[in-house]
Amino acid sequence: MITETHSSASPTRLKSGDLRSDFDLSASELRMLLELAGEVKRQPDKWRSALRGRIASLLFEKPSLRTRMTFEVAAKQLGGDAILTVGPVGGREPVKDVARNLERWTDIIVARTFEQETVDELARAAEIPVVNALSDRYHPCQALADMLTLKEIWGGWQGHTLAFVGDGNNVAHSLMLDCSRLGVNFVCVTPQGYEPKPEIVEQAREFAMAAGAAVEVTNDAEAGLARAEAVYTDVWASMGLEHEAAERARLFAPYQVNSGLMELAQPGALFMHCLPAHREEEVTDEVMESRTSVIFQQAENRLHAQKALMLMLIDGPAR
């Protein structure tokens, strides 16, 4: 018989109270969250009433499969529920008014937006936690799942190397910030002119120095992949940039993750992708289906990482 309970020791609350970006997690909080995610994955029944009666507001300006499903399932499996609203945030009324309505009905706001400023404005106005479920600048929930996946496979993070190949986008930013704090060497291999934001690279290098790791940005795939134990890519034109797709396809073609590019990495290097993937564009079907591809393990771990995040942001069951 399974006892309906949750951990006797409540998870540590995040000091920021939000996850607007990866910067809202300290290095120690990042490690604690990932440790909790692993525990939640191993013992899901232990947490099935941890957020009983709590409701998550999901505000999605962009289409979603993994983010929507994993947050909804996470809320329900923790004893709560989630309500989805699709469309522009602040389209009919100011963003701050949306936030101050939702805080009176629900316990957390999960926002998937075109602009980072929308997430930030929600967080400024709301007295309940706000989570960035993807913006133009960061994708922190994806990076959490990725770090959990790497630990499961590598057994730890320190001293390993991950290479991100493609556009220096929101996923690259979040991966870089998490890798650098966990001691993973991070290399961004990208066409000239598509490098990640310099200010984010600079901050990641400071984190890496403290953690005994390194952050590199290069246009040279051969040099960038030489030490890579994991090769990660994303679509060449993210949502909102479809008008650049043809030009990007031309410039990014030499950076397609195919069997030849994977051979530049270390033997047995993992293949990673945040999904959805455009097969035969940024990555070949052969690589997607290879034995070292962990793309669906990453997708599964979105659920466990987001459960841990919610547990560290919401103050237990409703009274």
So which residues are the catalytic ones?
112, 139, 142, 234, 274, 302
CA 63 from chain centre, in angstroms, equals 16
What amino acid is encoded at 268 in this protein? G
pLDDT tens for the chain, 319 residues long, are 333 344 446 899 999 999 999 999 999 999 999 999 999 999 999 999 999 999 999 999 999 999 999 999 999 999 999 999 999 999 899 999 999 999 999 999 999 999 999 999 999 999 999 999 999 999 999 999 999 999 999 999 999 999 999 999 999 999 999 999 999 999 999 999 999 999 999 999 999 999 999 999 999 999 999 999 999 999 998 777 788 889 999 999 999 999 999 999 999 999 999 999 999 999 999 999 999 999 999 999 999 999 999 999 999 999 8
Distance (Å, rounded) from C-alpha 119 to C-alpha 23? 14
Could you tell me the strand order of the sheet in which 55-60 lies?
81-86, 55-60, 108-112, 130-132
Across 255-275, b (16+ Cβ under 10 Å) vs e yields bbbeeebbebbbeebbbbbbb
3 CB neighbour count, 10 Å cutoff: 7
What amino acid is encoded at 1 in this protein? M
Please tell me the total number of residues recorded for the chain in this structure: 319
Sign of torsion, CA 33 38 41 46? negative
8 Å CB contact between 172 and 197: no
Domains of the chain: 22-138+302-313 (3.40.50.1370), 142-299 (3.40.50.1370)
Neighbour-count burial of 222, counting CB atoms closer than 10 A to its CB (0-12 exposed, 13-18 middle, 19+ buried): exposed
CA distances, 10 to each of 14, 50, 56, 269, 304 (Å)? 12, 9, 19, 37, 17
